[in-house]
Structure 1
């Protein structure tokens, strides 16, 4: 079910759950790359250069993902992404689980 919030989706089956399964959250490919960069500790400036996007666009996507995952900052965003199994725990640098990318 699309929640109207810029490519971050919840499946609708787990809206009351504190910890939805990995398949419930999906990210656009751009958001996935941004989340991986944030998890690796990259700044908005570095991500903007690597992804050929403006730093404001990077910040926008970080804010959208943070709002959706109820994370007040980048550290909390990454932490929640690991807890929700959006980011895989078996690789470094962190990678988004394939099933969470549209």
Structure 2
């Protein structure tokens, strides 16, 4: 994954935004409605680390909040539309 704040393109296709495996798991959890506290327990990370990754992903996707982050992830096909709980498109993970 590059250090660019914006590794994502405004128009799809899948793979236009590359996430780390940790970010992918966090995004799946956020999309499923998990809180930072719950994700920190499940992923064995601090809640501050979870919030950091949410902020980084929100910046990449130009999303002002978690709801917008999830919406943009679906629009950009980072999250698959054929799975529940939400799953990341494999091509988007570094």
Shorter-chain TM-score above 0.5: yes
Cα offset for 1:3?
Answer: 4.3
> Is 1:9 matched with 2:31?
no
Show structure 1 runs of 4+ deviating over 2 A: 1-5
Unaligned runs of 5+ in 2: none
In the TM superposition, what are the counterparts of 1:15-94 in structure 2 within 5 Å? 18-94=10-86
SS in 1 for 2:86: coil
SS in 2 for 1:23: coil
Count residues with an aligned counterpart.
Answer: 94
TM-score after normalising by structure 1: 0.85
CA RMSD of aligned residues (A): 1.6
Ranked by relative contact order (alpha carbons within 8 Å, sequence separation 6 or more), the top structure is: 2
Q: Which has the larger radius of gyration?
A: 1
Unaligned runs of 5+ in 1: none
TM-score after normalising by structure 2: 0.92
